Structure 1
Amino acid sequence: MHMPDIKRFCREFVDRWSRDRNGAAIVEFALAFPIVIGLTMGIVEMGHIAFANATLEGSVREASRRGVTGFAPDSSSREDYVRGRVIELMEKFSLDGPVEISTQTYDSFGDIGEPEPFVDDNANGSYDVGECFSDINQNGQWDSDMGMAGLGGAGAIVVYTADVNLRLLTPAFAWFTGSQNGSVRLSASTAVRNEPFSLVQQNNAAGAPTICS
């Protein structure tokens, strides 16, 4: 075969190959499929997390509505009655571990998250062992949060907090988010004032002992 014939043959082969679309759809599908699946899983997973988070927030509000009245059924304690509402609403989800529920009581909304008062002898702006402090929550030690565990008495401010580890639906999404155990941590909280369900008003600060050790 002469050189011109070889060149012509190569040109025709390239032209024919570049116009041939057989199998193109399969290649395009193979390239797009992982992206489409990834986006779909992400949308489903984010919707799942958003729904679980909204349910958790609603359950905490429902629990606080039970707590503010001071009511408890004969068959249950007040604490179990309040906590049971959160557990009841969250049991529809697959959780990694139990629902963690905590309640902290304060005398006013301004006390939430505040440290127990102390005498700053060395004026360094932080509490040091040996400095006198008011043991507001009466646990025998200085705390950076003066809240007292429990549901509080009439008129007390109560912060309800619930935490859960929600299992993700797809392992691939767990890997993408960097989750080590295939779950994501969700938390919700709300602060309410108890109703005046008795004549006795709780006042933590009034009865707080002063400790200097």
Structure 2
Amino acid sequence: MTLAPTNSSARIVGDQRGTTIIEFAVVAPVLLMIIMGGMEIGHLGYVKGITRAALQVAARDSGLESNSSSQNAVDAALRDRIKTVIPNASISIQRRSYTDFTDVNTPEDFNDSNGNGLYDPNECFTDMNGNARWDADRGRSNSQGGADDVVLYTVSVSYNKIFPLWKLIGQPSTNVISAETTLRNQPFGVQSQQIGMRICP
């Protein structure tokens, strides 16, 4: 024998009051993540734009003859421009100088005696940057170079994300971006030739 539902139980089954708050509780976390993600992406794009623009200004200033002896001031101005947007950013700056654009990111020459296409510690090489060891990049580190030299100027920026909640879902709490540009110094004098030294370990 089946009992017919009472009026009160029928009202409870058909009552939809309060469902909106439950639906919101389910949707809200996803919605918040989308909003926060959009804001983070937008902020990241803005920071990249500011960093690249500041780097271009600093690189041009570095190549001027009038600034050849004041690279620390140029770097300080670059940091100040970036920190107007991200005051607590950690900023690292690196310069590598080359004789020509074709030398940028090019390894030092070596005798590949065993034909494996890689430099081995016992092979002879031509030391182009004066550090007495073979390098995968022949540029002179931390150097603005001289007249008419080519400089690879790189800046790396690390800063905390806007929302600290990313750690809760296993994401890093910091953004790290980098930008680089390659420019030639003004020809304010005779360019020094980069003469390599042959070294056989």
Partner of residue 155, structure 2:
162
Show the 5 A alignment for 1:78-117: 78-92=70-84, 93-95=86-88, 98-117=90-109
Amino acid in the other structure paired with 2:91: V
| SS, match of residue 99 in structure 1 | strand
1:202-213 matches, within 5 Å, as 202-204=192-194, 207-213=195-201
**Alignment counterpart, residue 145 of structure 1, candidates 137, 158, 183:** 137
**Other-structure match for 2:5:** 9
1:201 is aligned to 2:194: no
Mapped pair 1:30 → 2:21: no
Q: Find out whether 1:186 has 2:177 as its counterpart.
A: yes
Counterpart of 1:128 in structure 2 is: 120
The residue number in structure 1 matching 2:16 is 21
Amino acid at match of 2:34: L
How far apart, CA to CA, are the structure 2 residues paired with 1:147 and 1:68?
A: 16
The letter for the 1-side match of 2:192 is Q
Cα distance in structure 2, aligned partners of 1:197 and 1:56: 28
SS class of match (1:9):
coil
The letter for the 1-side match of 2:54 is S
Offset at residue 159 of structure 1 (A): 0.4
Deviations 1:30-69 (A, max 9, x none): 1222122111111111112111121111111111110121
Distance 1:29 1:203 in 2: 70
Instruction: State how far apart, in whole Å, the 2-side matches of 1:187 and 1:177 are.
Output: 23
Tell me by how many angstroms 1:103 deviates: 0.5
Greater C-alpha radius of gyration: 1
Which runs of 5 or more structure 2 residues have no equivalent in the other structure? none
Q: What is the alpha-carbon distance in structure 2 between the residues aligned to residue 177 and residue 64 of structure 1?
A: 37
* 1:63 counterpart = 2:51: no
Q: 2:176, 2:119 → 1: CA distance? A: 31
Q: Which stretch of structure 1 is more off in the superposition, 29-38 or 60-69?
A: 29-38
Q: Is the 8 A contact 1:41 1:173 kept in 2?
A: no
Quote the offset at 1:81 in angstroms: 2.4
C-alpha distance in 2 between matches for 1:66 and 1:83:
10
Q: Cα 1:189–1:176, aligned 2, differ >3 Å: closer, same or farther?
A: farther
Relative distance call for 1:154 and 1:176 in structure 2 (3 A) is farther
**How many residues end up aligned between the 2 structures?**
199
User: Secondary structure in 2 aligned to 1:71?
Assistant: helix
Letter in 1 for 2:43: H
**What fraction of aligned residue pairs are identical, expressed as a percent?**
30
Q: CA deviation at 1:18?
A: 3.9
Tell me, what secondary structure is at the counterpart of 1:126?
coil
- SS of 1:117's equivalent in the other structure is coil
- What amino acid is the match of 1:203? Q
- Per the TM alignment, residue 70 of structure 1 is displaced from its structure 2 partner at its CA by 2.5
Cα deviation digits, residues 102-130 of structure 1 (max 9, x gap):
00111221211111011222222111223
What CA distance in whole angstroms lies between the structure 1 residues aligned with 2:191 and 2:35?
A: 54
Closer/same/farther in 2, CA of residues 135 and 86 from structure 1, 3 Å limit? same
